[in-house]
Chains A and B, each alone.
Chain A
Amino acid sequence: MSALFRIEHLSKQFGGLKVTRDVSLDLVPGDRVALIGPNGAGKTTLVNLVTGQLRPDSGQVFFGGEDVTRLSDVARVRKGLVRTFQVTRLFSEMTPDEHVTLTILQRKGRATRILERFGHDPAIEFEAADILSTLGLTEVAHRPVAEIAYGQQRLLEIAIALALRPRVLLLDEPAAGVPSSETPRIEAALARLSSDLAVLLIEHDMDLVFRFARKVVVLNGGEIVFTGAPDAAAADPRVREAYLGSYAHASRVA
C-alpha cells in the first residue's frame, strides 16, 4: 500500500542542540505505530515538526503524496493531519460539548460564520454527544472545563481530535494523567477508529503501547534507533537499557 504519510530526512536543532536528526518514517492507512524513547529524545518535537508548529531546518513532510512542509499548521489539520497535546490545551470557560461542537463546525467549514447560531444544529449536537459518550464525558459535557478533573481533560483532548475525523492522528501521551482504570476508554476509542486511518502514538505507559501498537519506533537523542515489532523492541537490549529498564511487562512480552 502506498504511504499515506511520509517524513524524509527531517532535522531540527535549537541553538547547538540537535533535537531531530535525519528522521525518516512512513505510515500507511491502518498503521498503528508507537513512538517511544527516553525523556527529551525529541518525540514531541517531531510531532511539532510534522504538524507545522515548528519549521524543520531540513527535510520534508509528505501527506497523501503532497509535500506539506511549507503548509501552515491550520492547512495541515484541514487536510486531516491531527494531533493532541502532551500538556492539555483547552478553553477553561467552555464546556466539553462546546469544544467538540466548535470542532465539528470547523470540519464543516462553519466555525467562523457570523449569521448562524452556535449549537442549534441537531445533527451536530448528536454527533458531539456521540463522541463525548465514547470517551465517557457525557456526565461533565456541560460543565466548564476548569471544573473537571485533569484526567477528563485528557480525554477531551482526544475527543476533539476525533471530531476532526483525522486521516493521520498523532497522539502525544494521551494517557498521561489518566488512571490505569480509565485507559481502557482510550483504547476503546482508538479501537473504534476507522481502519484506513493511521495512528502514531507517543506514550510512556508501556501497557498501552504494547497492547496498541503493531509497530514500535524508538527515538533516542533525536535519532531513530530501532524500528520493528513490539516483541522485538522489548527484547532489544539497547532499548531495554536506554528506555525500558526493569519494565515488568516487557519481560512478559519478550
Chain B
Amino acid sequence: TVRVGIIGPFSGPFALQGKNFQAGIEAYRALNGKSVGGNEVEIIYRDLPTANPQQARAIAQELVVKDKVQYLGGVYFTPDALAITPILTQANVPLVIFNAATSAIMEQSPLVVRTSFTLWQTVTPLGKAAIERGIRKVITVVSDYGPGVDAENAFKKAFPAAGGTVVESIRMPMQTNDFSPILQRVKDSGADAVFAFLPSGPPTLGFVKAYNDNGLKAAGIKFLASGDLTQESDLPALGDGALGLVTSYHYAVSHDSPENKIFVEAARKAIGNPAELSFPAIGAYDGMFVISKMIEATGGKQDAAKAVEAVKGLAWISPRGPVSIDPKTRHVTQTIYLREVAKDASGQYINKEIESFPGQTDPGLVK
C-alpha cells in the first residue's frame, strides 16, 4: 500500500474548506478506485485548523516518519506550506498543494506541485475584462493579508496594462465586521467599479450586504472580484444581493462539461449536503489525480524526484476544463473564467460563466 497524508483545516473556522478537500479526494476515489497500478492507496487525514506553521511542521514530520506516507497533500494556508517544504528533500516526499495560493511556495522546494490557483492567476484576466465592459476607473478593496495583497497587486498591474486607472487602493483589516464605512468611502471615491478580495466565508456576507445597503448597486457602481468572494457554498446566504456580481475564477460548480457533471455528482455524495460543495474540492480532486500519476510512474516505490518529474508537463481534462502542470514552475496552467452570479433554472444561485481565458499560467512567478 501507498500512504498519502492529507493536511487540511477539518475543524475550526475553515472547516468547510477542509470538508471540501475531503469531498474532492473521496470523489476521486469513488470514481477511479482506491488503488493505482495494483498499489492500494491509503489516505491519512490530519487536522490543521488555522495557519500554524509549528503545528504544520509537527504533523508533516509525523506523517513522514511515523505513518510512513510517501506523499503529502492538502495544505490550505501558505505559512503551513512554507513550514513543510524544508523537510521534503530529506524525507524524499513530494508535496501536492490543493490550495495554499502564494506564488513563492513553488520556489522553496523542487518537490512541490500545485493543483489549485494563485490570485495572480485568477485576477489578471479581470483587467482586460473590465475594460471590455466599459469600466475605466476602479477602486480596489482587499483584506489586508497575503492573498489580499496579491490580488491587489495583480489587479493593479493588469488593469492599467489594459488601459484603465486604479483610483485608490484600500486594504482593510481581517477582522472587519461592519463594512458600511468602507463602502461609503468607495461610493465617495467616484470610481466606476470596485474590485474586491475577501477570503471566502462569513465576512463576504457583510461586504455584499453593505454594497447593496449603501446604495452602490443602485448608483451603478460595478462589483468585480476574485471568485473566492462568491464561492458556491456562500451564495445561498448572500441571496439576491449577490446577483450580477462579476468574478473571475478557475472553477465554478456549475461549469458545463461532462467531466464536471460526473465530478459534481460524486463530490456532492461525498460531502453529504450538496450546498456545501465549493472550489477547494476541485484542487483536491485534481491533486489526487496528480498523486495517482506519481504513484503510477514510480510503481509504488518511494522516489520523490522521479514522481515529480513524471507529472511535469502532464496535461488532462479536469472537471474545470483543460489543465496542465507547467514543467518549469510545477504550478497548474488552466482556463480562468469570467462569471456572473445568477439563478439557474431550478432557482439555485450559481456562478454563470460568461467568458473564458484559456491557458493561464501563474504571472506571479514571472514578476
Direct contact of A and B (CB under 8 A): no
